[in-house]
Amino acid sequence: MKTLRSSFSVALAAILSFGGSTAAVAQQNVAFSQQFAGSTVLLTSGDTIQGPLVLHRNEDVIRLTMPDNTVSTLSAVAVQSFAVKGQKEDRRNYEDFFDTRAGYYYGNPYYSVPRPRRERVDTSQVRVFRTYRWNHDKDYSDFKSPAFFEQLSGGPSVLLRREVLVERTINNGPMYGPGYGYGYGGYGVPSMSRYRTMKDVFYLGLPNGNVLPLRNPKKDLLAIFRQQAKQIEQYAKGNKLDFMDPRELASIVNYANSLQKEAK
């Protein structure tokens, strides 16, 4: 427990040390939560509390189990930052693309269909979240409300991520359409199928507290760091870094920050 708390203290100190053939035919966000065995939460009041934590992603709310087993519910407006460790995988958040009895094998009509993201949960990883005021991607809205963003890089410009669970509807094509048995295609599976998968949505947190969406991470990031764009692109290419991979994109942002510091 001492080691866990120590890790959280280091993480929180770090985040406070610098300034500021198939076709998808439908997609919708699905409410989901993530559970963690331990956490350190820094409140806007300056107080720190610890305990097992549940993060409700869509609502930007955390529920903390206190030492006396009472549960404290906190919205983003009351939280400055928090660090979590010991993620518990909740398989209820995911659904296989189709019944596993159908199998993933060559010759199966669904073999080439995109599959849900399946990453092994790293229970030893300390993850840090910070609160930013956000317009919820409404570009022409001045209204902003506090929301949780996971911090993936150092600063002063910080790579941020929001994980969302989405449900997609897939049209399996005319070959397996309604003509093959009342909405069922060949092999006795539906011509329209649904699956759930995790989706990473990236942002850049600026020193002034603003949050910029990175809808096209490479294009948007090079536009933001316009003066260093050529060097950044060469760095990514030389190190074979993918602008869509969270860890590799974090390395690119850290490099971009280092270039700005050198220029000063």
What pLDDT, on a 0 to 100 scale, did the predictor assign at position 77? 97
Going by pLDDT thresholds of 50, 70 and 90, the confidence category of residue 88 is: confident
Mean pLDDT, the chain, rounded, equals 78
Going by pLDDT thresholds of 50, 70 and 90, the confidence category of residue 66 is: very high
Query: Nearest CA to 7 among 122, 87, 88, 84?
Result: 84
185-230, pLDDT tens digit by residue? 555 555 567 777 888 999 999 999 999 999 999 999 999 999 999 9
Residues 133, 209 contacting (CB under 8 angstroms): yes
Of 12-26, 81-95, 194-208, 244-258, the range with the lowest mean pLDDT is 12-26
For residue 230, what is the DSSP state?
A: H
For residue 35, give the amino acid letter.
Q
Element (H or E) spanning 85, and its range? strand 79-88
Q: What CA–CA distance (Å, rounded) separates 48 from 14?
A: 15
Q: What CA–CA distance (Å, rounded) separates 116 from 139?
A: 29
Q: What CA–CA distance (Å, rounded) separates 12 from 128?
A: 7
- Mean pLDDT value of segment 4-25: 48
For residue 215, what is the DSSP state?
A: S
Q: How many C-beta atoms surround the C-beta of residue 78 within 10 A?
A: 16
Q: Are strands 158-171 and 71-75 parallel, antiparallel or unpaired?
A: unpaired
Residue 155 has pLDDT above 80, yes or no: yes
- Mean pLDDT value of segment 25-31: 61
Share in percent of the chain as helix, strand, coil (round to 5): 25, 35, 40
Residue 3 has pLDDT above 80, yes or no: no
For residue 72, give the amino acid letter.
S
Residues 202, 159 contacting (CB under 8 angstroms): yes
Residues 214, 137 contacting (CB under 8 angstroms): no
Q: What CA–CA distance (Å, rounded) separates 135 from 126?
A: 27
Domain ranges in the chain? 2-213, 214-264
CA angle (251 as vertex; 246, 252 as ends), nearest 5: 95
Residues 167, 194 contacting (CB under 8 angstroms): yes
- Mean pLDDT value of segment 166-192: 56
For residues 179 and 214, which has the higher predicted lDDT (pLDDT)? 214
% of the chain residues with pLDDT over 70 = 66
What pLDDT, on a 0 to 100 scale, did the predictor assign at position 70? 95
95-139, pLDDT tens digit by residue? 443 333 333 333 444 434 444 444 556 667 899 999 999 998 888
Residues 177, 185 contacting (CB under 8 angstroms): yes
